[in-house]
Amino acid sequence: MKFAIAVFGAPYSSQASLSALHFAQAVTLAKHELYRVFFYHDGVLNGNNLMVPPQDELNLQNAWVEFAATSKSELVVCIASALRRGMLNAEETRRYEKTASSLDPAFIISGLGQLIDAGLQADRLVTFN
Amino acid sequence: MAMKKFLFVQTQPPHGSINGQEGLDAVLMGSAFTECAVLFLDDGIYQILSDQQTGPLNSKDYSVTYLALADYGVNNIYCCQTHLNERSLSTKDLILPVQALPEASIRRLFDEYDVILSF
């Protein structure tokens, strides 16, 4: 089956991000296809490479990057949600003349159309709120 | 394959969180791709209350953007009659024409749509 995942919840503040990561891992482990992971709302904060959680806790941003690398999955953040919350990649940092970029390069910045496309293409779009 | 139909469900009141506003953005984007409908449940109904005065909140009055839905070809807009009643509201208090449905019909609505995105 072809799955797509939408993550709406902020990392750590709610269980949404961790549950989404576990679900994504289960999808690929069971040899299903993962079409895309789309981050919307506070979910875009999962791409924050400035997060420094305590050492005995999971670094969610690292975990997503590792998952994407091993599973060859696509991680996409909504540009409007990301900019509003200060999630900028190198290109956006230059565009808005900011001093630091915050979005890990493993996360692609794109538009909301990618969420709609995920709903159209996948057999199941699963939302974590 | 027939195009999938999307149902966007708005459940949160406006201004207290950005969920509704970003949900509406998703509806507008969805309408560019396929047939979309919007369902207002619970406090989500407050998003389309007429005459919102958001100035003192420094919050954008995005309720007027709902008026553009018809131009985007989104003509199926629903809410729950029970949830209106619970808030002493009627469809006359809302900024745009909405079909108020009994709970049983809302259940059927969920069956009718292929993709449901809840905000």
Stated as kind and residue range, the H or E segment containing A39 is: strand A33-39
The percentage of chain B sitting over the pLDDT mark of 90, rounded to a whole number, equals: 96
Compute the Cα dihedral for A124, B1, B4, B5 and give only its sign: negative
Domain that holds residue A66: 2-128
Provide, as residue numbers in chain A, all residues whose Cβ is less than 8 Å from the Cβ of B7. none
Provide, as residue numbers in chain B, all residues whose Cβ is less than 8 Å from the Cβ of A16. none
Active site residues of A: 78
- A76-103 tens-digit pLDDT: 999 999 999 999 999 999 999 999 999 9
Question: ipTM of this model?
Answer: 0.91
A111 in contact with chain B, both atoms CB, cutoff 8 A:
yes
List A78's β-bridge partners, or say none: A110
A2 in contact with chain B, both atoms CB, cutoff 8 A:
no
Q: Class of B6-118 per CATH?
A: alpha beta
Distance CA B98, CA B107 (A): 17
With an 8 Å Cβ cutoff, are B19 and A41 in contact?
A: yes
- B31-79 tens-digit pLDDT: 999 999 999 999 999 999 999 999 999 999 999 999 999 999 999 999 9
Q: Scanning every residue of chain A, which has its alpha carbon at the shortest distance from the alpha carbon of B6?
A: A119
Q: Scanning every residue of chain B, which has its alpha carbon at the shortest distance from the alpha carbon of A128?
A: B118
**What is the domain-level CATH number for residue A112?**
3.40.1260.10
Distance CA A77, CA A75 (A): 7
Q: Output the pLDDT for position B1.
A: 57
Q: Which of B6, B18, B118 is closest, CB to CB, to A119?
A: B6
Q: Output the pLDDT for position A15.
A: 96
* Structural domain count, chain A: 1
User: What is residue B48's three-state secondary structure?
Assistant: helix
Q: List chain B domain ranges.
A: 6-118
Q: Which of B18, B33, B115 is closest, CB to CB, to A125?
A: B115
Q: Whole-model pTM?
A: 0.95
- A103-124 tens-digit pLDDT: 999 999 999 999 999 999 999 9
Phi, psi of B6 (to 5 degrees): -105, 135
Q: Output the pLDDT for position A86.
A: 97
